[in-house]
């Protein structure tokens, strides 16, 4: 790859973060965003019901089935998936805009969406967060107090399926200790920013003056 090819690539890094429900992904991502102003979270569209405390446009873009299918038919989603009876999708325009502006972007999506994104952006960095055990995962879901026993059982069964795809990801961390898992994620982000492709774009003026 030549220098000119590197300098013409998208400026930001695209990070895919995936985990089974209850593994602590959302809390970890929220903490990353608090620590690092150069990284943005892509806000997904979803047809699922809005939960208490959630804000439209902040946690998700809440849309109905018709609106979702309209965006999908127009090719507006970078990836989309059906999860636990609801539809989820990532706006490609929003992701591309943030990357081209030089921001790193986190996609907080499931393994199905991760596979779709990697097909379009093979340079995306994928991370899977595992719970310390399935039993711990089930306890965390119970402690949330948001779902019925039936729903929790379905989520645990789905979690087993989701975790079977961990081998498809570039990095894996186990969220047994929150602070350690957070340090792992921040280390992955920092390491990828230090790759030559990222650094040469960030310091393009310097590189062009010495070559």
pLDDT in tens, 96-109: 999 988 899 999 99
Put residue 49 in one of left, alpha, beta given phi > 0 → left and psi -120 to 50 → alpha: beta
Given this model, what pLDDT does residue 211 score? 58
Considering the chain, what is the average pLDDT of its residues?
87
Output the pLDDT for position 208: 65
Q: What is the pLDDT of residues 15-47, one digit of tens each?
A: 999 998 778 899 999 999 999 999 999 999 999
Give yes or no for residue 9 having a pLDDT over 80.
no
- Is this prediction's pTM over 0.95? no
**Residue range 64-90: mean pLDDT, rounded:** 93
Could you tell me the pLDDT band of residue 48, with boundaries at 50, 70 and 90? very high
**Residue 86 has what pLDDT?**
93
The pLDDT score that the predictor gives to residue 23 is 85
CB 191 within 8 A of CB 127: no
Could you give the CA distance from residue 152 to residue 154 in angstroms, rounded to a whole number?
Answer: 5
- Percent residues over pLDDT 70 in the chain: 87
Q: Return the sign of the alpha-carbon dihedral for residues 201, 203, 209, 211.
A: negative
Residues 91 and 42 sit within 8 Å (Cβ to Cβ):
yes
pLDDT at 152 (0 to 100): 84
Query: Can you read off the two tokens belonging to residue 198?
Result: 């990222």
Predicted confidence at residue 7, as pLDDT, reads 41
Please give the backbone phi and psi of residue 18, each rounded to the nearest 5 degrees, phi first. -125, 145
Of 91, 119, 93, 123, give the one whose Cα is nearest residue 107.
Answer: 91
Q: Which residues have C-beta within 8 Å of that of residue 134, sequence separation ≥ 6? A: 156, 159, 160
């Amino acid at each position: 790859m030549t220098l000119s090819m590197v300098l013409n690539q998208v400026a930001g890094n695209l990070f895919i973060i995936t985990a089974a429900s209850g593994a602590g992904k959302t809390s970890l991502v929220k903490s990353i965003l608090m620590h690092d102003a150069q990284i943005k979270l892509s806000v997904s569209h979803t047809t699922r019901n809005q939960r208490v405390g959630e804000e439209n446009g902040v946690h998700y873009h809440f849309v109905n089935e018709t609106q979702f299918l309209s965006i999908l038919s127009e090719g507006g989603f970078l990836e989309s998936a059906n999860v636990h009876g609801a539809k989820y999708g990532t706006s490609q325009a929003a992701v591309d805009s943030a990357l081209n502006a030089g921001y790193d972007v986190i996609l907080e999506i499931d393994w199905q969406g991760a596979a779709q994104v990697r097909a379009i952006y093979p340079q995306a960095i994928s991370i899977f967060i595992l719970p310390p055990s399935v039993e711990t995962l089930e306890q965390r879901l119970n402690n949330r107090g948001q779902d019925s026993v039936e729903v929790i059982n379905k989520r645990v069964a789905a979690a087993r399926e989701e975790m079977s795809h961990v081998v498809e990801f570039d990095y894996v961390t186990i969220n047994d200790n929150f602070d350690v898992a957070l340090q792992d994620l921040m280390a992955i982000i920092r390491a990828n920013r230090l790759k030559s492709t990222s650094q040469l774009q960030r310091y393009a003026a310097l590189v062009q003056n010495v070559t």
